[in-house]
Amino acid sequence: MPFTLDNGLKQGLLAIAVFSIAFTGSPAIAQAPKEKPDLVEVLVPPPDSELYCKNIAEAASDARVKWQTWKMISLEASLRDRIAELQRKEQDFETWVERREELLSEVEDQVVSIIGRMRPEAAAAQLATTDEEAAVGVLLKLKARVASSILDEMDPARAAQLTQSMMGIANPDIQRSF
């Protein structure tokens, strides 16, 4: 006996087909099969060197930061040492300037004027017997022409010694006041 559908069954199947089309939005279309890729990807583990680098990256970064910190501390310490050395030299220079000023102020103007009015031979004999600082102080306060004539009459070794002391004390750029 052939299978026949009655009217109610036909309407029910038709309603189901319409209902399935309405909710899917479009009638079912057969899709083409997906193409298979030509190449098959094979997962290869990274080489040991790459794994090693990844594993120690954080430790290497920490070590680099520590080294840079140590280097900065070392540079800061050497900078402090250099500053301290420059401050010591500045104090030495200030002491030297004070000594020079004291030396120049110790020599009285009367002694300078007496030595300046003496004959060069007699003045050379007087300055040859005085201590070096006093002789240098007197020569610095004398006019250049008078001082040179006195040094000319002195023993060459003593004159050279006094001249070197004068060069260490006197600054040629500064004018002397008489």
Report DSSP state, residue 107: S
Q: Is 101 found in the same domain as 117? A: no
* Residue 127 domain-assigned (yes or no): yes
Burial (CB count within 10 angstroms: exposed 0-12, middle 13-18, buried 19+), residue 68: exposed
pLDDT (tens digit per residue) in 99-120: 888 877 766 677 888 888 999 9
Range of the domain at 116: 108-169
Length of the chain: 178
Check whether residue 122 and residue 158 sit in a common domain: yes
Of all residues in the chain, what percent carry a pLDDT higher than 90? 38
My answer on whether 91 and 129 are in the same domain is no
Query: How does the average pLDDT of the chain come out, rounded?
Result: 81
Does some domain include residue 87?
yes
The pLDDT value recorded for residue 19 is 64
Nearest CA to 147 among 178, 115, 170?
A: 115
With respect to residue 66, please indicate whether it lies within any of the assigned structural domains.
yes
165 and 124 inside one domain: yes
One domain for residues 157 and 114:
yes
The domain tally of the chain equals 2
For residue 124, give the 3-state DSSP assignment.
Answer: helix
**Co-location of 161 and 126 in the same domain:** yes
Please check whether residue 20 lies inside any domain of the structure: no
Whether 93 and 126 map to the same domain: the answer is no
Q: pLDDT-derived band of residue 22, with 50, 70 and 90 as boundaries? A: low
Q: What is the pLDDT of residues 36-49, one digit of tens each?
A: 656 666 677 778 88
Residue 171 has pLDDT above 70, yes or no: no
Cβ atoms of 134 and 111 within 8 Å: the answer is no
- Name the band, by pLDDT with cuts 50, 70 and 90, for residue 28: low
Interacting residues of 116 by C-beta distance below 8 A, sequence separation 6+: 123, 142, 143, 146
Q: Is the domain of 90 the same as that of 124? A: no
Task: State percent of the chain over pLDDT 70.
Answer: 74
Helix extents (H) in 25-47: none
User: Structure pTM?
Assistant: 0.38
pLDDT in tens, 47-56: 888 888 888 8
Whether 3 shows a pLDDT value over 60: the answer reads: no
CA dist 129 and 115 (Å) reads 13
